[in-house]
């Protein structure tokens, strides 16, 4: 085992223990909280030690990047579960349905129609979460909070999709708790069971508000290079 592998194993154990602790103290009683390791921007060799340490659920935010990275890793780890957590353009629906096990970013009717068509054509049935723009921010994707319940109903009744959960990214720089609580209320009203919310800095708060999935990147993989760092 080389240094990076034991390092990955230790980080994974630390975060899993924190997830478990938060779940025990504040979380929903019965269900399990799934840790999604967000591997966006990290190459396959940085992901490999986490697979070797036993992690199987991963998140990516770009279809093309995932398509370049994951087929090779999946040849070795067939039981990986891959979540799409970034915006999905309709021209990438075919690739997304082929590659992802869970698509967390359904947020408009046009995309619902495209997903429904592709899922019928191929028989592949990735699980679907609806992304909610919980802070109503102009720069973020997601359906508006007050349109969420109707959109979930439409996705089911008109587009024939099974919707399993809601996902959100709260605004930066303000306490996220009220946004997570709001998403939990919307999920109850819409009749969906799963809640993908909470990232490296706030997953414990999210678990306290009922998260069933937390999406943790930098706390596992380290700092992500930004374009400014690379310049």
Residues engaged in binding ligand PLP (CB under 6 A): 38, 40, 61, 85-86, 169, 199-201, 215-219
Closest residue by beta carbon to ligand PLP: 217
By beta-carbon proximity to ligand PLP, the closer residue of 7 and 200 is 200
CB of 198 to ligand PLP, least distance (A): 8
CB of 224 to ligand PLP, least distance (A): 7
CB of 211 to ligand PLP, least distance (A): 12
Say if CB 115 and CB 97 are below 8 A apart. Answer: yes
Say if CB 180 and CB 209 are below 8 A apart. Answer: yes
CB of 203 to ligand PLP, least distance (A): 8
Say if CB 45 and CB 69 are below 8 A apart. Answer: no
By beta-carbon proximity to ligand PLP, the closer residue of 131 and 148 is 131
By beta-carbon proximity to ligand PLP, the closer residue of 159 and 192 is 192
Q: Is 100 helix (H, G, I), strand (E, B) or coil?
A: coil
CB of 173 to ligand PLP, least distance (A): 13
Say if CB 82 and CB 101 are below 8 A apart. Answer: yes
Six token digits for residue 143: 């359906």
By beta-carbon proximity to ligand PLP, the closer residue of 184 and 197 is 197
Which runs of E-coded beta strand occur in the chain? 34-38, 57-60, 81-84, 102-106, 127-132, 165-168, 194-196, 213-216
Nearest partner of 134 among 82, 222, 196, judged by Cα: 196
By beta-carbon proximity to ligand PLP, the closer residue of 4 and 200 is 200
CB of 140 to ligand PLP, least distance (A): 10
Helix (H) or strand (E) holding 162: none
Helix (H) or strand (E) holding 151: helix 148-157
By beta-carbon proximity to ligand PLP, the closer residue of 89 and 122 is 89
């Amino acid at each position: 085992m080389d240094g990076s592998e034991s390092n990955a194993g230790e980080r994974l154990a630390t975060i899993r223990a924190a997830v478990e602790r938060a779940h025990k103290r504040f979380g929903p009683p019965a269900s399990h909280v799934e840790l999604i390791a967000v591997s966006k921007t990290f190459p396959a060799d940085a992901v490999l030690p986490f697979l070797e340490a036993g992690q199987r659920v991963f998140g990516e935010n770009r279809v093309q990047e995932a398509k370049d990275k994951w087929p090779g890793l999946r040849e070795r780890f067939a039981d990986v579960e891959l979540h799409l957590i970034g915006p999905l353009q309709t021209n990438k629906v075919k690739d997304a349905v082929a590659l992802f096990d869970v698509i967390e970013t359904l947020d408009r009717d046009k995309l619902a129609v495209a997903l429904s068509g592709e899922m019928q054509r191929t028989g592949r049935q990735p699980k679907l979460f609806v992304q909610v723009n919980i802070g109503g921010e102009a720069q973020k994707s997601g359906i508006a909070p007050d349109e969420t319940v109707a959109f979930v109903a439409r996705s089911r009744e008109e587009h024939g999709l099974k919707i399993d959960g809601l996902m959100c990214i709260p605004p930066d720089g303000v306490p996220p708790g009220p946004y997570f609580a709001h998403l939990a209320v919307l999920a109850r009203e819409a009749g969906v069971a799963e809640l993908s919310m909470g990232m490296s800095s706030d997953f414990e708060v999210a678990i306290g508000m009922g998260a069933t999935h937390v999406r943790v990147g930098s706390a596992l993989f380290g700092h992500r290079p930004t374009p400014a760092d690379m310049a």
